[in-house]
Amino acid sequence: MNSRLISRILVVCLSLIAGLQSGCETTGTRKLEGGDQIQWTRSEYRSGDKILIDFADNPGIPPSWQQTVREDGTIGLPFNQIVRAEGKKKADLEQAIHDLYVPKILRRLTVNIRAEVRFFFVTGEVKNPGQKDHTGLITAMKAVSAAGDFTDFADKGDIEIFRADGEIVKVNGKDILKGVAKDVPVYPGDRVHVNRRFF
């Protein structure tokens, strides 16, 4: 077994461990019928996302509530209530939860959804490898930039994204930089690995 294969196996193992430690659950890339990838919008919830909800102005309901968006796109709430979260933005979901309770169950209620801190990881031939905050739309090239850019030994044409769900996506950074290929999205829990060139 050559050293490059051993290195890739190690990166996959580290990626799976890091995904578990970050507490992030992702569903991988979403694709259209033509094969194009859908760019995931950070502000919209999807299956697997953890949502932290603070309730105020009513002592009859728990002050905080944590749920994970189910496969059917819903979350469970106090008093056996269910609301659809998938596809909604923060303000829309807060309003939907409020309207579920007021005035039918409670007289008043303030709902605030707290943002969950998310991470991705960059390893290999970058100047500042490690864990990075996932904010907004992150792509492979933005991930490399967040890690201080390529080292002098980086193979810009040989980048791999190890998804939290086990999928491996090959990325040619040279083609992206030339504008002949599309940049690839990086999701929370993913690990971007820049391989070393051997010449």
Q: What residue ranges do the domains of the chain occupy?
A: 3-38+118-196, 50-114
CB-CB contact of 191 with 18 (8 Å): yes
List Cα–Cα distances, 147 to 64, 184, 197, in angstroms.
35, 16, 18
CB-CB contact of 93 with 45 (8 Å): yes
What pLDDT sits at residue 68? 84
Q: Which CATH number fits domain 50-114: 3.90.1640.10, 2.60.290.11, 3.30.1950.10, 3.40.50.970?
A: 3.30.1950.10
| Per-residue pLDDT at 188 | 83
Mean pLDDT throughout 128-148? 92
Mean pLDDT of 88-104: 94
DSSP 39: P
Residue for token pair 């996932």: 134
Mean pLDDT of 176-195: 93
Helix (H, G, I), strand (E, B) or coil at 32: coil
| Average pLDDT rounded to a whole number, residues 39-60 | 75
Q: Which CATH number fits domain 3-38+118-196: 3.40.640.10, 3.30.360.10, 3.30.460.80, 3.10.560.10?
A: 3.10.560.10
The answer to whether the 3-38+118-196 and 50-114 domains have the same CATH topology is no
What pLDDT, on the 0 to 100 scale, is given for residue 8?
Answer: 55
113-135 per-position pLDDT tens digit: 986 667 899 999 999 999 998 87
> Pairing state of beta strands 191-196 and 119-124?
parallel
What are the CB-based long-range contacts (under 8 Å, 24+) for 172-180? 173/140, 173/141, 173/144, 176/140, 176/141, 177/141
Q: Average of pLDDT values for 20-36?
A: 39
| Nearest C-alpha neighbor of 53 from the set 25, 11, 95 | 95
| Average pLDDT of the segment spanning 11-22 | 43
Mean pLDDT for the chain? Answer: 81
